[in-house]
Amino acid sequence: GAVVSQHPSRVICKSGTSVKIECRSLDFQATTMFWYRQFPKQSLMLMATSNEGSKATYEQGVEKDKFLINHASLTLSTLTVTSAHPEDSSFYICSARAEYSLSYEQYFGPGTRLTVT
Amino acid sequence: GENVEQHPSTLSVQEGDSAVIKCTYSDSASNYFPWYKQELGKRPQLIIDIRSNVGEKKDQRIAVTLNKTAKHFSLHITETQPEDSAVYFCAATVANFGNEKLTFGTGTRLTIIP
């Protein structure tokens, strides 16, 4: 089956620093990947849609200059949290749909737990 | 945009009994409705999905029903087992093999009592 990986799985950083999270589709190509944020005991909230070769589309209320997204290839999207603050601490999850698939199914990465101290 | 409501937020069921989780959506154009199971600290796992051209779909102990007129869909788990304990999310989207942005419900924490 389709596999999506994320790296790192956990990261602790100091307030004011930047953190990069990678999302990879291991056995399929994905023109589009999605980035979600999930706070404890809450639902998944879509942050942005990452498009290969073009700018990401951000959801309302998500600061594009704070959450930089780069979709450099058909198998890799990165999310960089810039000038991180404690309120950015959350579980970040990416997802992707297999290109040319007849299924609408999206495959999720294992998530990255970010803790900002 | 789409808005998905999910009920109940918590559900406790005796092992072997059935569990039902309900969701409503607002966008009549939505045509794809997946259900995900998420264990603590893990990724959401698709357990079943349904497209708008179908009213019901079943996979062993799990079934989903869709009422397009009323804009609601439900997850049914029969013969529940302890390993069914998890958080379940419904979602909805307008799917057209393009940018299918999923809108998730608020989640239901299901606990199976042995």
Q: In which band, very low, low, confident or very high, does the pLDDT at A54 lie, cut at 50, 70 and 90?
A: confident
- Looking at residue A97, what is its pLDDT? 83
Distance from CA of B18 to the nearest CA of A (A): 24
Q: Do A32 and B99 touch (CB under 8 A)?
A: yes
How does the average pLDDT of chain A come out, rounded?
93
Mean of the pLDDT values across residues A16-43?
A: 94
Report strand pairing: A90-97 vs A106-108: antiparallel
Q: Does B42 touch chain A (CB under 8 A)?
A: yes
* CA angle (B101 as vertex; B74, A113 as ends), nearest 5: 90
Q: Which residue has the higher pLDDT, B113 or B99?
A: B113
Q: Do A106 and B106 touch (CB under 8 A)?
A: no
Q: Shortest CA distance to B91 belongs to which of B53, B37, B55, B41?
A: B37
The answer to whether residues A103 and A1 touch, using CB atoms and an 8 Å cutoff, is no
Cis amide bond preceding A8, omega within 30:
yes
A109 to chain B: which residues are within 8 Å by CB?
43
Total residue count of chain A as it appears in this document: 117
**Closest-CA residue of chain A to B91:** A44
Q: Does A24 touch chain B (CB under 8 A)?
A: no
Q: In which band, very low, low, confident or very high, does the pLDDT at A101 lie, cut at 50, 70 and 90?
A: confident
Q: In which band, very low, low, confident or very high, does the pLDDT at B13 lie, cut at 50, 70 and 90?
A: very high
Mean of the pLDDT values across residues B48-53?
A: 94
Q: In which band, very low, low, confident or very high, does the pLDDT at B48 lie, cut at 50, 70 and 90?
A: very high
Q: Does A98 touch chain B (CB under 8 A)?
A: no
Q: Which residue has the higher pLDDT, A50 or B109?
A: B109
Distance from CA of B36 to the nearest CA of A (A): 10
Lowest model confidence (mean pLDDT) among A9-13, B8-12, B20-24, B98-102: B98-102
Mean of the pLDDT values across residues B77-89?
A: 98
Q: Do A43 and B89 touch (CB under 8 A)?
A: yes
Q: Does B53 touch chain A (CB under 8 A)?
A: no
**pLDDT at residue B98 greater than cutoff 70:** no
- CA B93, CA B100: separation in Å to the nearest integer? 6
- Looking at residue A90, what is its pLDDT? 96
- CA A92, CA A115: separation in Å to the nearest integer? 11
* Stretch 58-87 of chain B: residues touching chain A, C-beta under 8 Å: none
- CA A16, CA B20: separation in Å to the nearest integer? 45
- CA A69, CA A92: separation in Å to the nearest integer? 13
- CA A108, CA B46: separation in Å to the nearest integer? 9
- Looking at residue A103, what is its pLDDT? 79
E strands present in B52-92: 56-59, 62-67, 72-77, 86-92
Q: In a mutagenesis test of the A interface, which of B64, B88, B99, B103 is the best target, namely the one with the most A β-carbons within 10 Å?
A: B99
Residues β-bridged to residue A80 = A20, A68
Q: Do A111 and B43 touch (CB under 8 A)?
A: yes
What SS3 state is found at B26?
coil
Q: Do B101 and A49 touch (CB under 8 A)?
A: yes
Q: In which band, very low, low, confident or very high, does the pLDDT at A76 lie, cut at 50, 70 and 90?
A: very high
